Structure 1
Amino acid sequence: MSDVVLTATEDAVRIITLNRPESLNAMTPEMLDTLTRAAAEAAADPQVRCVVITGAGRGFCAGGDVKAMAASNERTSAGNGGGGLVSRVDVLRQQEEVSRLLHEMPKPTIAAVNGVAAGAGLSLALAADLRIASDQARFTTAFAKVGFSGDFGGTWLLQRLVGPMRARELYFLSEILDAQRALELGIVTKVVPHEQFWPETIALAKRLASGPTLAYGRMKDNFVYGETNTFADTLTREAENMIASGQTEDHRNAARAFVEKREPIFHGR
């Protein structure tokens, strides 16, 4: 796997690190292709029970590499390729799969936001189930500043966190939010002093990785299904997932542990 994205596994936690620290982990096509593969592999690996995505150095992800975009625009204007509109849409949509994977994979995902999260970098963080922010983190949609409309699911995700009116404001005006303001708006789950940021993030990830993996997956399925379906249909989906999770070894062992007044041990089975 390319070194612009690093992966490591620690106690059933897969850590995916964007690794272009010199550019605040700005996205390139190589990074996005590698990132999507890394997320797909983590989603499919039964030994991985929680996924953490973070950035190397001072930033989480500054969004797309605007310098590279400007150079590409110059080549396209000069008639040196660039591909048709449909092909470019298809390429971007495939790259955006990383957001869908983080949002939908049947295991908890955490965005560990160590620094700036801007543009598509913010969208990527929003796609995770939980967001832990360093007190040095900064957040901005950024798209309007470079004449873009937004991608990687940010518009869909942000309005569900802060409401449609506030999301529009954040997109139109590209306000820069510090970590505390992001917490107040409900964009992040928790803000942690920078020196404690990584230990607390890993502690949370390991707690989730030691939990009822199959139940977490069905919880996520309920949430994802409910985002686009009726209440009545979601009740049916919940009933299906509730009965299915009740058939697992984890449930049976946890019920026994409850009766015996001891802590359950979950194996993801």
Structure 2
Amino acid sequence: MTGSTILLDVAEGVATITLNRPDRLNSFTSAMHAELRAALATVQRRAEVRCLLLTGAGRGFCAGQDLGDRAVAPGEHRPDLGESLETNYNPLVRTLRELEMPVVVAVNGVAAGAGANLALAGDIVLAARSASFIQSFARIGLVPDSGGTWILPRLVGPARAAGLALLGDKLDAATAESWGLIWKCLDDEALMPEATALARRLAAGPTRGLALTKRALNQSAANTLDAQLNLERDFQRLAGSSDDYQEGVAAFAAKRPPAFKGR
């Protein structure tokens, strides 16, 4: 599938979605949201897809919302930004968090505003050394959205989350790694080869168990320890009944690489 603003490629169990408005740093318009929804629906339908890799074209990952798509003249009716979140950004973040497969994000350049929080909605985030993360909402009088106020404190703690959100300063990729905001900072030329290799490794893994692990991690933020222990019990019961668990044990006993099928 190839759209004007979204590219989708499927190979070796990995669906690679590329945000493709490089002339506008891959900033979102309503049309781009619609194409991305269609691409994600295709990913969910195709049984051979076992990992999603998300990246951007050109020199930026995503600069967030294209403000020109919302521009109004002085005195005209102001847009309902809450409706924009309800229609576009919130469903997008929920889809990525709830997708029954690992989501790897390769941040190849600036990730600003909703673009930064879209990246952080992934499960494993890699960034080029030249990349940066900017909670740019404060610069235009807005509130961090697309999950930013939820995920930032959980990744970097309340003090750093407040600094990032209230000041809107640029955070370079190396510092993002040292703060625990992302998994790894890589030299620019190594980003896509390593991201692709990682996505293929995950796609070849026991994706039923990986999906359950992702769900358990996501639900842990709202659970007590007792509730989480019960959740682990229930999910382990499901994972233990899978073909992949049987294959994993057999491969361990035979001292051979496992051949997981994702069931």
**Length-normalised TM-score, structure 2:** 0.94
Tell me the equivalent position of 2:134. Answer: 140
Q: Which runs of 5+ in 2 are unaligned?
A: none
Tell me the equivalent position of 1:78. Answer: 76
Tell me the equivalent position of 1:93. Answer: 86
Q: Write the distance in 2 (CA, Å) between the matches of 1:225 and 1:139.
A: 25
Task: Please say if residues 122 and 141 of structure 1, whose CA atoms lie closer than 8 Å, have aligned partners that are also in contact.
Answer: yes
Q: Write the distance in 2 (CA, Å) between the matches of 1:240 and 1:138.
A: 39
Q: Which runs of 5+ in 1 are unaligned?
A: none
Task: Please say if residues 144 and 174 of structure 1, whose CA atoms lie closer than 8 Å, have aligned partners that are also in contact.
Answer: yes
Tell me the equivalent position of 1:39. Answer: 40
Counterparts of 1:1-269 in structure 2 under 5 Å? 2-69=3-70, 71=71, 73-74=72-73, 77-79=75-77, 82=79, 85=80, 89-96=82-89, 97-269=91-263
Task: Please say if residues 132 and 201 of structure 1, whose CA atoms lie closer than 8 Å, have aligned partners that are also in contact.
Answer: yes
Task: Please say if residues 39 and 98 of structure 1, whose CA atoms lie closer than 8 Å, have aligned partners that are also in contact.
Answer: no
Q: Write the distance in 2 (CA, Å) between the matches of 1:128 and 1:54.
A: 11
Deviates further, 55-64 or 184-193: 184-193
Alpha-carbon displacement from aligned partner over 1:198-248 (angstroms, at most 9, x marks no partner): 111100000000000000011011112212122111111111110111111
Alpha-carbon displacement from aligned partner over 1:3-58 (angstroms, at most 9, x marks no partner): 11111111110011111000110111111222233223323432110001110000
Q: Write the distance in 1 (CA, Å) between the matches of 2:219 and 2:180.
A: 22
Cα shift at 1:191 = 1.1
SS in 2 for 1:180: helix
Deviates further, 33-42 or 151-160: 33-42
Amino acid paired to 2:93: S
Cα shift at 1:105 = 1.1
Task: Please say if residues 40 and 101 of structure 1, whose CA atoms lie closer than 8 Å, have aligned partners that are also in contact.
Answer: no
SS in 1 for 2:73: helix
SS in 2 for 1:149: coil
Cα shift at 1:259 = 1.0
Q: CA RMSD in A?
A: 1.6
Identity of aligned residues (%): 40
Number of positions where the alignment pairs a residue of Structure 1 with one of Structure 2? 261
Cα shift at 1:92 = 2.1
